[in-house]
Every structure is written in C-alpha cells, then in structure tokens.
Amino acid sequence: MQVRRLIIPILLIIITIVVSSCSVSRRTTSRYQTLSQRAQVTLQYNQHQYNMSSQVRVWRNHFIAVSVQPMLGIEMVRMEATPDSLWIFDKMNRKYVAFTYPEIEQTLNTNLSYKKIQDLLTRPTTKKQAPIHMEFTSGKHQLSVSCIFSHREQNTLQAPTRTKTNKYKQVTLREILPL
C-alpha cells in the first residue's frame, strides 16, 4: 500500500507546516500539567482522501506523544517529542527516525521547537472550533490536512512511557524523505 510508505514523510511535513505556518496564540491552557485529547485528521494526498484518528498526550514542558490510528484503532505511527529531540516510529514497518530540532531545521528549512509543538497542541478549544487546515505542494504532488481536536482531559495522565527502540531499525531522515 502506497500510503504506508508515505506515513512518516507525511507526518514530518504536517509537523513542519503546522509549526511554520500557524501563528500560535499566547493564550494556551495554563492550568494543566498533563493533557490528553483526541483529534480527527483528514488527509488528502493527490486524488486520495484518508480519515484517521489520533491521540495526543502532553506532559507540560517534558514530553509529547502523538499516536496515529488510521484504521480500527491500530496504532501505525507514533511521534514522541522531548525538549531536545523528536522521534517518529513507523510501527508497521518497524522503523524509526530520531533527530534534534537543529537537524530538522537544517533539513526542512523551518524553525521548529518543542515549545512551538506544545503551544500548538495545547491551544484553547471552543465548542464550534474550526479545523486547523494546511496545504502543501511539491511538484505535481498536493497534500491537504485538516485536523479537529476534541475530548480534552487535563491532569489525568500518569508518567509517560517512551517507546523502546530495540524492536525497530533506526533510519536517517534523508532515507525517509525524498530530498
């Protein structure tokens, strides 16, 4: 399946687009130490549309975990962020890529930081929230992403659990992205 091969590059592009194109409000949810929320993501890649759910968990100023479940609640991709590094796991192909923020900034030419990711994921929600919508075009390929957050719970999470890397093969960012 072609989309399986594209999951990690698409997730990296989504993170890059969100962080570089959205201005993040300074009014984040200020009373939380942990935050858990669901997100419905619609991804349109060229002529194909995919709907998937994701689970976002944030431990303020410490750790972020985003789990993408495109079908039947099966986790296919997981992103983990710490203040100094970002990890993306392709659970189906048992691969992962890990990099620091300066490495991703240099490779994708964007200003990415843990704080920007955290601020975006913890921005205030409203009952009639408009989706975050982003578009990206590279040559003849078009990617459009819409995301709506829901079911937010604050201060209910236990200590975070990192994914163990011994089950996965580490690959470089250049092996995953067609640069």
Is the domain covering 2-24+32-156 a CATH 3.40.1570 domain? no
Chain segment 164-173, per-residue pLDDT in tens: 999 999 998 6
Residue 140 reports pLDDT greater than 80: no
What pLDDT sits at residue 24? Answer: 43
What pLDDT sits at residue 27? Answer: 45
What pLDDT sits at residue 137? Answer: 62
What pLDDT sits at residue 141? Answer: 66
Higher-pLDDT residue of 82 and 179 is: 82
User: Looking at residues 119-144, what average pLDDT do you find?
Assistant: 68
User: Under 8 Å CB-to-CB from 172, ≥6 apart: which residues?
Assistant: 97
